[in-house]
Amino acid sequence: LIEKIHEDQKLRNLTEDPLPISILTRMAIAKETTAKNISKEMGSILWFQLLVEVLLRMPHADDAKNDLIQIWRNNSTGNSTELDIIVEFERKYTSEKAIWWYTRESSLYRILNKALREQSINMIFSFRFFLNELSKQVTELYNHRTEQNLNDDNDHTIYVYRGQAIAKEVLEQIQQGIGGFISINSFFSTNRSKTIAKSFAKQAKITEHTRRILWRITIDCCLSTKPYADVEHFTFYKTENEILFMLGSIFRINNVIFNDKDQLYVLDLTLCAENDFELKEVFAYLKKYIGDETSIVSLGNILIQMGEYDKAEQIFIKEDHKEGLITVTEQKGNYYLAIKDYQRSIEHYEIVLKLRQEVFPISHPDIGKSYCSLAMANEFYKNYANAIDYYQHAVKQYQRTMKDNHPLVIQAKHNLQKYITEDNQTTHL
């Protein structure tokens, strides 16, 4: 009965819970990698690697476990069985049983994977305690992998498999990414038994929108890679030959072949080394911009540099970090101005002005900067009366702390002068 329950759980996980993934094509890798010139594909992998690094470096806070429990409870309302499991977790959880809890039949796994798939910063942050503990246990097992007999008969190459169903469009994205890389943005369970993996693939329910696949992953045990571990003795159900890959593991996509006999697609991948030549630029960028930072706010600042404004905004709102909110909201205002969406640009600049008035002293020059931004956006929007008003406010604000020969005062006066007639009356262009 226990084995049947375990099989049913596995099938649900492999069919109902799509894997959160990011794909990086060879073309995206070839582009120059700078803070302001980063492809959307590169960004999708990079921001997640940054998120993982920051979360794993953060010190444990007393409320971190409670944040997870609260989210879990909120998603289990009315489910008495699940609520009992949460109480047990609250009372009996230890760091040595992180993998055990991750593989237990409960909604914990599904809530976490949904958060990772939807890239919900708030939800992922609420799981920081558990992600840290789970990552730590996998890393410890990885560091002792030779003692776990992962390298049978001194063979330094091993193969692992995973059978499941995935959406047709996801399969097509992977096919288009051949020669590039795929990041699995969750913990990734596989098995050394090809037979077991194929049986799961064959049992997976499919529709016209899904396809059966078999992941075939090659691991060179001599290379330094993201951690992976044999978790057979640490899972809730004792599953032989189960290999669990670390959150955010990156694989090279070698090929995708349809197997006529088994009626499934075989995805041939190789686990990437951290010094993989084609990924060096990605990791160099990562190390350059993350430095020694350990705060979630530092990730928000990096996301702004990458143009991921919405993700950065989530972080600053959660942390009630006003200065971060000012920066990201102003950047969004600049973005809308650049695409000529003047109304939304004005809305964002108004928020920035209000935040600066709350945070900064009354004479702070950045308040003048907000007035200038609002004046310029209104000018483009042909709302000249408002533009004049904001330019006048900007001049007065700058003059609180600056002399008339300061460049900011001169520029604000110059912009205002366009609307002033010889008899000092304002006029519209």
Residue 154: pLDDT band with limits 50, 70, 90: low
pLDDT at 422: 40
Residue 429: pLDDT band with limits 50, 70, 90: very low
Q: Which residues pair with 184 in a beta bridge?
A: 21, 249
What's the CA gap between 386 and 368, in Å, rounded?
15
pLDDT at 304: 81
Q: For the segment 401-425, what is each residue's pLDDT rounded down to a tens digit?
A: 999 899 999 999 998 888 775 444 5
Residue 147: pLDDT band with limits 50, 70, 90: low
Residue 261 is which amino acid?
A: K
pLDDT at 276: 77
Least confident segment among 38-52, 286-300, 408-422: 286-300
Write out the chain in H/E/C secondary structure: CHHHHHHHHHHHHHHCCCCCEEEECHHHHHCCCCCCCCCHHHHHHHHHHHHHHHHHHCCCCCCHHHHHHHHHHHCCCCCHHHHHHHHHHHHHCCHHHHHHHHCCCCCHHHHHHHHHHHCCHHHHHHCHHHHHHHHHHHHHHHHCHHHHCCCHHHCCEEEEEEEEEEEHHHHHHHHHCCCCEEEECCCEEEECCHHHHHHHHHHCCCCCCEEEEEEEEEEECCCCECCEEECCCCCCCCCCCEEEECCCEEEEEEEEEEECCCCEEEEEEEECECCCHHHHHHHHHHHHHHCCCCCHHHHHHHHHHCCCHHHHHHHHHHHCCHHHHHHHHHHHHHHHHHCCCHHHHHHHHHHHHHHHHHHCCCCCHHHHHHHHHHHHHHHHCCCHHHHHHHHHHHHHHHHCCCCCCCHHHHHHHHHHHCCECCCCCECCC
Least confident segment among 48-62, 66-80, 157-171, 283-297: 283-297
Q: For the segment 372-388, what is each residue's pLDDT rounded down to a tens digit?
A: 999 999 999 999 999 99
What's the CA gap between 96 and 255, in Å, rounded?
38
pLDDT at 155: 66
pLDDT at 10: 53
Q: For the segment 348-357, what is each residue's pLDDT rounded down to a tens digit?
A: 999 999 999 9
Residue 222: pLDDT band with limits 50, 70, 90: confident
Span 393-398, average pLDDT: 94
Residue 223: pLDDT band with limits 50, 70, 90: confident
At which residue do the structure tokens 């890798």 appear? 29
Average pLDDT of the chain is 85
Structural domains in the chain, CATH included, are 2-280 (3.90.176.10), 321-417 (1.25.40.10)
pLDDT at 100: 95
Q: For the segment 304-358, what is each residue's pLDDT rounded down to a tens digit?
A: 877 788 888 888 888 888 999 999 999 999 999 999 999 999 999 999 999 999 9
Residue 237: pLDDT band with limits 50, 70, 90: confident
